[in-house]
């Protein structure tokens, strides 16, 4: 559908560079962590990080999804909290958005 | 090991459903950009990072801006540096080869599922790998299905498929909640991420919010230590007076 498809060489490099960058970060983080301190303030930092990263990934998306998105995200969070079931929570969230858009 | 791989794969199946949903959206976008299914599959298997692939497809206009694309991927995936570091307890005592082999299939979802399971019972790298294999297969199938259906489903937003990403990450975030101590770091992370997303270009908000929020307990720790050393010094000076 695109007018002139990009040549194969640039496609190769685009994908290869993205793959190398991503893999380097994945493995680099793990290998670096062994040289970092494992107590005190740094330990607190690493323990808090999983939650704050995921939240940062999703928070702007919820805000930009408007009132409907906010309501759906709240229902998703509540369902995930009560049932511990990620799939059920997701269905609730997507269902609210789909119905909301239909109306 | 096989048993742990199986367990990890099963534990990631619920999350996999939504991965398939937003994978199909990516596939549709890729088809519109003229990306072939083989190129898409190569991207899935070698990059294997949802949000980065979305941005790559968005930037996919010939002549391909390879340098800008790589920079964008680096910034979005900067969080993997932190994700990799946080997996250190799971990988403790494993060989370099083992680490290099398993780390490729670490995505946000199987990482979050593994971290939550690790807090409850302690899991091995097999659990993480099983989740990765499960998600990579589902991700590839979802994107390729979307690529094929691209012409048929013209409005994926009618089925809320675009919201699948937000929904699954909201649910996963809740699974990482540790209790009241998380309130302040999370509020701080959320505010920082929203502000950074609004005022800074690209995807810096993920790293800024994540690091900023996680610094809150560090600050609390340092203040606590300062206060206790202050109290200690006070006690000493009182004793000297006596």
Looking at residue B61, its pLDDT comes to 85
Q: pLDDT tier at B172 (50, 70, 90 boundaries)?
A: confident
The whole-angstrom separation of Cα B37 and Cα B93 is: 40
B207-226 pLDDT, tens per residue?
899 999 999 999 999 998 88
Looking at the structure of chain B, the number of domains it has is 2
State whether B87 and B110 are in the same domain: yes
Residue B154's pLDDT is: 66
Using 50 as the pLDDT threshold, list the residues of chain A that sit under it: 1-2
Q: What is the DSSP string of A63-91?
A: HHTHHHHHHHHHHHHHHHHHH--HHHHHH
Residues of chain B with pLDDT > 90, as a percent, come to 50
Note the ipTM here. 0.83
B50 part of contact set with chain A, CB < 8 Å: no
Domain match, B20 and B132 both: yes
Looking at residues B100-121, what average pLDDT do you find? 92
Interface of A with B in 53-92 (CB under 8 A): 53-63, 65, 69, 72-73, 76-77, 79-81, 84-87, 89-90
b/e sequence B181-202, b meaning 16+ C-beta within 10 Å: ebeebbebbbebbbebbeeeee
Question: Domain check: are B160 and B220 in the same one?
Answer: no
CB contact under 8 A, A15 and B205: no
Answer yes or no: do B164 and B216 share one domain: no
Q: Which of B137, B89, B88 has the alpha carbon at shortest distance from B109? A: B137
Does residue B109 share a domain with residue B186?
no
B12/B116 same-domain check: yes
* Statement to judge: residues B134 and B80 lie in one domain: yes
Instruction: Using alpha carbons, list the distances in angstroms from residue B24 to A46, B17, B141.
Output: 33, 11, 8
Structure token digits, residue A33: 């962590």
Which residue range is the domain that position B218 belongs to? 180-242
**Residue B103 is nearest to which of A14, A30, A53, comparing CB atoms?**
A30
| Among A42-46, B11-15, B172-176, B237-241, the range of highest mean pLDDT | B11-15
pLDDT of residue A2: 46
Q: What does the pLDDT read at residue A88? A: 87
Chain B residues touching A32 at Cβ < 8 A: 81, 84-85
The model's confidence at residue B153, banded by pLDDT at 50, 70 and 90, is: low
């Amino acid at each position: 559908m695109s007018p002139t498809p990009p040549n194969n060489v640039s496609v190769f490099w685009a994908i290869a560079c993205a793959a190398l960058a991503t893999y380097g970060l994945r493995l680099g983080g793990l290998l670096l962590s062994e040289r970092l301190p494992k107590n005190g303030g740094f330990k607190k930092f690493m323990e808090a990080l999983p939650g704050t990263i995921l939240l940062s990934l999703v928070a702007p998306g919820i805000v930009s999804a408007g009132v409907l998105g906010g309501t759906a995200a709240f229902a998703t969070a509540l369902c995930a909290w009560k049932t511990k079931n990620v799939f059920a929570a997701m269905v609730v969230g997507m269902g609210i958005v789909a119905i909301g858009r239909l109306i | 090991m096989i048993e742990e791989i199986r367990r990890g794969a099963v534990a990631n199946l619920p999350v996999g459903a939504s991965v398939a949903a937003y994978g199909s959206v990516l596939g549709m976008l890729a088809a519109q950009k003229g990306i072939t299914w083989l190129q898409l599959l190569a991207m899935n298997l070698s990059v294997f990072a949802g949000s980065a692939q979305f941005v790559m497809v968005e930037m996919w206009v010939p002549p391909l801006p390879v340098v800008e694309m790589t920079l964008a991927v680096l910034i979005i995936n900067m969080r993997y540096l932190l994700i990799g570091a946080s997996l250190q307890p799971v990988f403790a005592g494993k060989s370099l080869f083992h680490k290099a082999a398993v780390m490729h299939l670490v995505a946000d979802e199987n990482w979050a599922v593994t971290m939550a399971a690790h807090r409850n019972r302690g899991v091995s790298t097999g659990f993480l790998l099983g989740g990765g294999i499960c998600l990579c297969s589902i991700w590839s199938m979802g994107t390729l299905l979307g690529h094929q259906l691209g012409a048929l489903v013209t409005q994926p937003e009618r089925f809320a498929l675009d919201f699948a990403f937000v929904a699954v990450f909201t649910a996963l975030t809740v699974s990482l909640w540790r209790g009241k101590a998380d309130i302040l770091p999370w509020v701080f992370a959320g505010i920082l991420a929203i502000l950074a997303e609004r005022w800074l270009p690209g995807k810096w908000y993920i790293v800024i919010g994540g690091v900023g929020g996680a610094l809150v307990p560090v600050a609390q720790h340092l203040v606590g230590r300062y206060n206790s050393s202050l109290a200690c010094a006070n006690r000493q000076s009182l004793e000297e007076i006596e």
